[in-house]
Amino acid sequence: MDNGEMRWVSEGIPDMRVAFLPREEVDFTDGWHVQGLKGTGSYGLQRRRRVRLPEYRTMPLFAREPFRGSSAASRMGLMPITAAGHASFALGVAKSMLAMSRNSRPPRCG
């Protein structure tokens, strides 16, 4: 925010940021019980106290320059890496649904 107004990186795109918090400031919640999500190892989270987060603990969501490392993955930025993970989940669910519709039971894992 700048003077109480949303900060924009370009027309129609707000300056969205990723925040990094110390683990001891976060409570993890186990609410991922819909098909396929339990196996992702993902958790919801809630910050224990509301305090202003220092900017050095954030980075732009759509940044393409690496903040650490120099691998090809770090040069892609966070969004393409996240998208790849979501795409693989979607493909897995689609494969499961096709198998269930053919066999009337879910496929075995492993």
45: closest CA among 62, 61, 24, 59?
24
Distance, CA of 102 to CA of 106 (rounded, Å): 10
Half-sphere exposure of 73 (CA within 13 A, CB side): 6
Tens-place pLDDT, residues 4-39: 888 888 888 888 888 888 888 888 887 766 665 666
The CA–CA distances, whole Å, from 46 to 5, 18, 23, 54, 82 equal 25, 15, 11, 17, 20
107 band by pLDDT with thresholds 50, 70 and 90: low
pTM beyond 0.85, yes or no: no
- Evaluated on CA atoms 41, 43, 24, 18, the torsion sign reads positive
Q: Is 40 within 8 Å of 30 (Cβ atoms)? A: no
